[in-house]
Copies of this chain bind each other. A is one copy, B any other.
Amino acid sequence: MTGPNMIDWIAFDADDTLWENEVHYRRGRELFDQLMDSYPPHDKLEQTVHEIEISNLGYYGYGAPGFILSLVEAAIKLTDGQFSTQDIQTLIDYLKEMVSSKVQLLEGARDVLELLSSTYPLALITKGDLRHQQVKIERSGLAQHFTAIEVVSDKQPETYLQILAKMGISPTTFVMVGNSVPSDVLPVLEIGAWAIYVPNELTWSHEQRDSSSIEHERFLKVAQLRDVPDAIKRINDGEVRPA
């Protein structure tokens, strides 16, 4: 049984935790499928797109530019070079739309941040393209709630350790809130911090992982963002038990 804890810092993931993100990738993929309909069908379309996407993460990291560059490359390969430059330009135009589109906040995001920022310093820890993430943070109208904003290229245990060291925070008093088990939950538990998992029905397959097997005394799963303040209260009151 855990005694009372005191959370000192709360960090939030951004994409698909505070605002919509994956929906833009799904639409990009639908656009790609529509364009591909004009070319002879290919029985390894899914596999080829997936392989190029994963292989290109090593070159481009996460984010919209790498996503579209991978679709362009897949289209050229899948059509034996017959994919038209007009269709390539259509994909590039969609990339520009992605990185300049409005930020749609998820239900409860503003209220929860307003409430929690009155008591806690909040951090935003988000992964992806630096420019695009900064534009979204600015457009979200939420920036003023955060004491610290970190855009990272990946979320490994070391990533979190470096951020916490820089801010002088002990892992035991730190909680991360996010929609991704591999990015927001597992590395955070590994360094001895707390994780609150807020599932989102639209989460990139690469970030999806079954959470039902996670039994950890510092892991909490909530149904929606509005349940986060209560989850933090439960941590502080020492009421958290292994799920």
Contacts and interface: CB of A to CB of B under 8 A. Distances in A.
A89 B73 contact: yes
Given A72-B88, A92-B69, A99 B60 contact: yes
Interface string A67-110: 00100110010010111111011001001100110000000000
Contacts of A131: 60-62, 153
A85 B89 contact: no
Nearest to A149: B162
A98 B27 CA distance: 29
Interface-centre pick from A58, A61, A83, A100 (highest chain B CB count, 10 A):
A61
Nearest to A129: B130
A71 to B, nearest CB: 11
Contacts of A65: 60, 65-66, 69
A172 interface: no
Size class of the contact patch on chain A = 35 or more
Interface in A15-71: 56, 58-62, 65-66, 69
Secondary structure at the A interface, as helix, strand, loop or mixed, is: helix
A116 interface: no
Number of copies: 2
B95 A85 contact: no
B83 A85 contact: yes
A161 interface: no
A85 B99 CA distance: 24
Interface-centre pick from A58, A59, A82, A86 (highest chain B CB count, 10 A):
A59
B76 A89 contact: yes
A129 B64 CA distance: 12
A134 interface: yes
Interface in A161-193: 166
B60 A76 contact: no
A7 interface: no
A231 interface: no
A59 B73 CA distance: 20
Nearest to A147: B166
A76 B59 contact: no
